Structure formats: structure tokens, C-alpha cells
Amino acid sequence: MKDHLVVPFKPQVGKKIGFGTTVVANQVQEVITDYAFQGWEFVSIESITTTVQGNQGCFGFGATPNTTTFVQVIIFQK
């Protein structure tokens, strides 16, 4: 049986490091390389969709709707 590891991944972009796809790809490569040195084999990158519950506020004031958010994870195995 293989062991699996799921690592959250949130790319960092901005004025100091850039906004392009190459910046994000380099960050993914860095994570994969770091875990490969620890003996983990890259399997895939997945996006998990989840709903963040809003709230009803106080008598309706300040109410917020539910929102959908996406979490990216990198999956490894040994």
C-alpha cells in the first residue's frame, strides 16, 4: 500500500515577484522538487471546491451570502 501526502498550494504573485504563469509554474516546480528530495513522488495537482457559509447578520443587517472558494492541493505518494 502506498502512502499519500496532500499539500495545500497557494501561488504567491505580486509586484515584487511578478504575475505571469511562469512565476506560478516555478513555484509549483519548487514544491515538487522539495518533496522529491524527501522521497515523495508527484501524482497530481487538484482543485477542491468548497462553500464558505455566509451569516444571517443581526436582523438581516450585515448579512453575507455563501461563497464558493477553490483550494489547490498537490498530491504526492511514496
pLDDT digits 0-9 by tens, 21-47: 899 999 999 999 999 999 999 999 999
Burial class for 63, CB neighbours closer than 10 Å (0-12, 13-18, 19+) = exposed
2, 71 Cβ separation under 8 angstroms: no
Element spanning 37, H or E: helix 21-37
Question: What is the pTM (predicted TM-score) of this model?
Answer: 0.76
- Residue 24 three-state SS: helix
Q: What is the pLDDT of residues 52-73, one digit of tens each?
A: 898 888 887 888 899 999 999 9
Q: Please give the tally of structural domains in the chain.
A: 1
